[in-house]
Amino acid sequence: MSSLITAEAVLHCEQLRRNAMLAGDSAALQALLSPDIVYVHSTGVRDTRDSYLGKIRDGAMRYLLLEWSDLQVQVLPGGTALVTGRMDASVLKDGQEKQVRSQFLTVWVAGPGGEGGTWQLRAHQGTPLP
């Protein structure tokens, strides 16, 4: 993953995150998530990196379908980028299939090393759609 500050680099990281979520690949997700991430689901549940990865790793939460649309990227000075978009998903949570429709905001930061580092997801906020 490149930390080159472009919208394309951030969208590439979002695609890697989507692929890892669908594959249930907690190791790939761990590489993308900041150790200090604040992950707020559209249900209002808040996860840390460890609690979110645990749900993925243990199968308590499994993404069956995950589509993102209307992605827009704002690259800010200092190695930060904001991504907004819409998520349509089918999630198996604790054995129950749930449909999720939400708007989301993600915050990506260039990791340690600045230009030589990697992008990491620092925050995620989902808001349910009616």
Tens-digit pLDDT profile for residues 18-47: 999 999 999 999 999 999 999 999 999 999
- Domain count along the chain: 1
Phi and psi of 21, rounded to 5°? -65, -45
Cα 71 to Cα 66, 103, 112, 127: the distances in Å are: 14, 10, 26, 15
In a domain, 2, yes or no: no
- Judged on CB neighbours under 10 Å (0-12, 13-18, 19+), 10 is buried
Tokens of 101: 């429709």
Tens-digit pLDDT profile for residues 70-104: 999 999 988 899 999 999 999 999 889 999 999 99
What residues make up the domain containing 71?
A: 7-128
Cross-strand pairs, 54: none
Confidence (pLDDT) at 2: 43
Tens-digit pLDDT profile for residues 97-111: 999 999 999 999 986
User: Which CATH number fits the domain that encloses residue 20?
Assistant: 3.10.450.50
In a domain, 77, yes or no: yes
In a domain, 1, yes or no: no
